[in-house]
Structure 1
Amino acid sequence: MLGDIEADAEIKEEITKVSLNDFSEHLKNRITYYLDNKSLLIPQKINLKPNRTTILDLKKGTNYDFYINIKCEDERNDLTNFNVIDHAYYKKQMTFARVTIEVYDLNKGEITYSQSIIGSIDEFSSVTFKPKHKVIMGCYKKLINQINKKSIKITN
């Protein structure tokens, strides 16, 4: 089961669509998006690195074997009062995003996969040249590529 993807409203629909497509392809269409099943008894937001009890509660509420949790965080700080031109180094440090994918084995009550990737805007680019959604999607694509390389391919 793919849980609710935590992301800004401007990217949430796109990354949800891409994630469903990628995991559906990888798992040979054996995936469900939590919003497609209205009878589930789970909270909308599952924090990263949940404890064993929370994972086992997901099993009770969903009756699925695995749960995929994706978080997209915009780590860009407020630059309104900051002279970016004079401080290119600090601009790079202040404009980045993090994408985390975790997979929980609901039967065992444990995290079976957890990986984060941080992407940043190049220090010579302007703040508006590369929108944050492109940075987030780039991070997501790197994570999916890693998953595909490490995983056993499912055949019918």
Structure 2
Amino acid sequence: MSLLVNALMHRIIWLKIGGKKLHLIKLTGAFFITAAVLKAAESAYQIFVTVQKATYAYLNPALIPQLFGWAIGANPSMLGGSFTTQDVLGVLLGPVATFLFWLGMLMAAIMVYQSGKIVLPIEEYEQNLSEHHKRLIQNAVQSHHARKK
């Protein structure tokens, strides 16, 4: 195992996108920030709409099918069905998750905007070949070049 570890050489190449004259990354970050702010605001509004719907459904369970498109029973008032706390949490999960997602995207967009450039590490591994394998490769390359002529 130690021979294999010693035979491999690990190298990292840094690929740089952006610089002093190229502000494309910053412009892209600005667009992403704008879009993320708008989507986060829309998600926050959706949370308030869902809370209002849940309030109405809690007060009048007969409105559940019209508000959410599903019903706890065929006729909630006759079956004793009501809009419970678990139902409120259930209908709020989606809008809250969407809001948190767009806040995360906003943070990522701010990082892209603030960086002004992107530096990506690209890993490269080299394996040392034995002299026997080097000679085989060299002979194959030479015979390939000889066939081309």
User: Which structure has more RCO (C-alpha within 8 Å, separation ≥ 6)?
Assistant: 2
Q: TM-score range by the shorter chain?
A: under 0.3
The higher radius of gyration belongs to 2
Q: TM-score, normalised by structure 1?
A: 0.23
Structure (1/2) with the larger strand percentage: 1
